[in-house]
Structure 1
C-alpha cells in the first residue's frame, strides 16, 4: 500500500478473492488506517478496494464458468456420499436465491470468495452478477475501511471482532458438514437394509 497507494490496496483485495487465507478483515482496516495517515484518500481507498473485489470475484466467476455445469456434475457424481439429487436441489435453490446469495455472500468471511464459483457454473448473467457483487463488496469494504480510518493506530482491533464472525462461519460450515455426512450414511444404511430384507425372506 505504501509503494502503490490505493491501487496497491485494490491489488491485495483482488488477490484475497483468489487466496482466501489473505483476510480482507485485516487488509481493509489497514487501508483505512493508511488513508488516515495520508497515504491515499478515503474515497480512493474505498474505490480501489471495491474495484479489486469486483475484479477478483470476476476471475473466480470465470473459472466457474470455464469448469461448466456438465463437467462439475461429472466431478460431483464421483465424490463419495454425494449424488446428483443433492446437486439438483442445490441448483434449484441457487436459481431461486442466487441473487441474495451473491450479495450477502460478499459480506461473509470465506464465503465471499467461494460464492462466485456457483454463480459462474450456473452462468448467472453478468448484468446481474456484477451489480450484486459491487453492492455487497462496497458495503463490506466501507464498514471495515471506515472502522480502520476512525480507529487510526488501533485499526487492528477490528480484526479481533471480525475473527469472531469468521469462526462462526467456520463452525456453521463444520456443523452442516457433519449433519450432511451423518444423513448420507444413514440413508445408505437404510437403502442397504431395504435391499437385504427381501433376500432374507426367501
Structure 2
C-alpha cells in the first residue's frame, strides 16, 4: 500500500468494480492500516478510493448504455425461463426506484458494481448517477478505511465481517433465484397440463 500510494488505491478500487475478484474489503482496510502507520494520508486514501469507485461505476454504466434496452429484451427472450416482459417489469421498477437503488446498492456487496449496468441501460442522468454513486461509495469506502485505521493489525475481523455479510447477500439472492425458477417452471407447466386434460376429456 505504501508503494502504491493513495492514487494506486483509487486504481485498485476502479478495477475492483470491473473485476470483482479484486475485493475492496481487503484493499481498503489495508489502506487504512497503512494510513495509521503514517505511510498514507487518511483523507487522501478515502478521496482516491471514492474517485476510483466512480470511475469504475462509469465504465459499467457505459456497458449498460451500450447494451441498451432493446438488446437486453432480445437477450432475455433467448434465455430459458426469462422473457422480454421480465425486462419490462424490471425497467418500470427501476424507473420508479432507480435513484434509491443506485445509492443503497453501493453499500451492498456483489450489487455494488452491478447496479451501474441497469442505470446505464436506462440512461440515468449523469447529474443524478454520479452524485449518488459518489455518496454511496464514500460511505462504503470510509467505513472500511476507518476500520483498518482503527483496528490496525486486527484487519481479519473487518474482512471476516464483510465476507460474512457478502455470503448472506449471496444466500438471499440464491433463494430468490430458486423461488423464481420454481414459480416460472410451474407457471409454464400449468397450461400444458390443462391442455392435456382437455384432450383426454
Identify whether the pair has TM-score above 0.5, normalized to the shorter chain.
yes
Q: Is the 8 A contact 2:29 2:158 kept in 1?
A: yes
Deviation at 1:83, TM superposition (A): 1.5
Report whether the alignment pairs 1:16 with 2:42. Answer: no
What TM-score comes out, normalization by structure 1 length? 0.96
Deviation at 1:103, TM superposition (A): 0.5
> Which consecutive residues of structure 1, in runs of 5 or more, have no partner in the other structure?
none
Q: Deviating runs (4+, > 3 A) in structure 1? A: none
Deviation at 1:87, TM superposition (A): 1.6
Deviation at 1:84, TM superposition (A): 1.9
Deviation at 1:98, TM superposition (A): 0.9
Aligned to 2:79: 79
Aligned to 2:155: 155
Report whether the alignment pairs 1:35 with 2:35. Answer: yes
Deviation at 1:38, TM superposition (A): 1.5
Q: Distance in 2 between matches of 1:78 and 1:105?
A: 28
CA-based RMSD of the aligned residues comes to: 1.1
CA offsets 1:100-131 (integer angstroms, 9 cap, x no match): 11111101111101110111111111111101
Deviation at 1:54, TM superposition (A): 0.4
Count of residues paired in the alignment: 201
What TM-score comes out, normalization by structure 2 length? 0.96
1:47-58 alignment runs, 5 A limit: 47-58=47-58
> Which consecutive residues of structure 2, in runs of 5 or more, have no partner in the other structure?
none
Aligned to 1:97: 97
Q: Distance in 1 between matches of 2:131 and 2:37?
A: 31
